Structure 1
Amino acid sequence: MGLEAVVGDIKEKGRKEVAAIQAETQAGVKRILEEAQEQAAEIKQKANEEAERDVQRIVNQEVSAANLAVRREMLNAEKDTLSRVHDDTLAAIAGLPAEIHAQALRTLLPEAAAAIKGGVVYCNARDIPTVKEILAENKDLTEFSIGAPIDIDGGAVVESADGRMKIDQSYRTFLETVWESGLKDASDILFP
């Protein structure tokens, strides 16, 4: 074998080795690219999932905040409505005919006299003539006098002679008692 044949063999062997190295390199590059694409896809999927969780969390927070704001507005509206009903009720009671007020005082004053044996009866200016009449008519009320008019819608406030005991029989006090005990029921009926 001549020198040319040996050189040809070496060249051929070199070309085969270069081709093998190139094929191996391309396979390695391809494998690295595929792994990189898989990692990129995983990273992208994780980022999408995290973004979706963040979006859902933000949406939930916004919905909760909106629901809370609506609930607060509803409660404020209900409170305003109940307050108007309370005030209208008191005004309607105060606006009842004089006979109704007189009958109420005829019932309330003896009840107060049972607890206080003598003292001063306070009422609004409208009811002073009625209270004077009741005090004059009822022998159980002879130890009572009438005081200066006070700012109440109706009923009376009875104070013992020594000032240590006071019985508030005003319409507002009765309404507050009924209002507090029936507020939940009224609210349930008005705002189901």
Structure 2
Amino acid sequence: MGLEAVVDEIKEKGRREVEAARAETRKEVEEILQNAQGRAESIKLAAEEESERQAAHIVNQEVSAANLIVKRQVLNAQKKLLDQVYQASLAAVRDLPADFHKKALAGLLEQAAKEIDEGVVHCNEQDVPALQDIISSSTTLKGYSVGTAIDIPGGIIVESTDGELQIDYSYRTFLNDVWESELKAASDLLFG
């Protein structure tokens, strides 16, 4: 075999080795690209899941905040309505006929006389004549005198003559007692 045949054989062997190396390199490159593509896909999925989780969290926070605002507005509206009912109740009692107030004052004075023997009785301006009539016509209320008119919707406030004891039998006090004890029931009735 001649030198030229040996050179051709070496060239052929080199070419085959180069082709094999290129094929091996292509195979490695494809594997690296596939691995990189798989990692990129998993990173992309993880990022999408995280962004969806964060978006859901933000939506939940916003919904909770909106619900809280609505609940606060409903409670404020209910309180405003209950305050209106309270004021309307006081006005309704204040606007009852004079004979109702006179009977109520007489009953309240009898109650007060059990606790204070002598004292000064205060009432609102419109009930002063009725109070004067009740005190002047009663033998059990001889120790009582009519004091100055005060700003109450009705009822009386009695002070002992020494000033150490005061009894509040005003309509507002009675309404407050009822209001505090029955507010939940009234709220349940009105607002379910």
TM-score by length of 2: 0.98
Instruction: State the Cα deviation string for residues 143-184 of structure 1 (Å, max 9, x = none).
Output: 110001111111000000111110011111111111111111
Q: How big is the shift at 1:5?
A: 1.2
Matches within 5 A, 1:48-127: 48-127=48-127
SS in 2 for 1:26: helix
| Cross-structure match for 1:141 | 141
Q: How big is the shift at 1:137?
A: 2.6
Task: In structure 2, give the amino acid aligned to 1:78.
Answer: Q
Task: Give the ranges of 4+ consecutive aligned residues of structure 1 lying more than 4 Å apart after TM superposition.
Answer: none
Q: Does 1:26 align with 2:26?
A: yes
| Cross-structure match for 2:153 | 153
For the aligned residue pairs, the C-alpha RMSD in angstroms reads 0.8
SS in 2 for 1:168: strand
SS in 2 for 1:159: strand
Decide which moves more: 125-134 or 26-35: 125-134
Q: How big is the shift at 1:58?
A: 0.5
Q: How big is the shift at 1:131?
A: 1.0
Q: How big is the shift at 1:134?
A: 1.4
Q: How big is the shift at 1:70?
A: 0.4
SS in 2 for 1:156: strand
Unaligned 5+ residue runs, structure 1?
none
Q: How big is the shift at 1:133?
A: 1.6
Q: How big is the shift at 1:138?
A: 2.3
State how far apart, in whole Å, the 2-side matches of 1:28 and 1:110 are: 109
| Cross-structure match for 1:168 | 168
State how far apart, in whole Å, the 1-side matches of 2:119 and 2:158 are: 7
User: Alignment identity in percent?
Assistant: 55
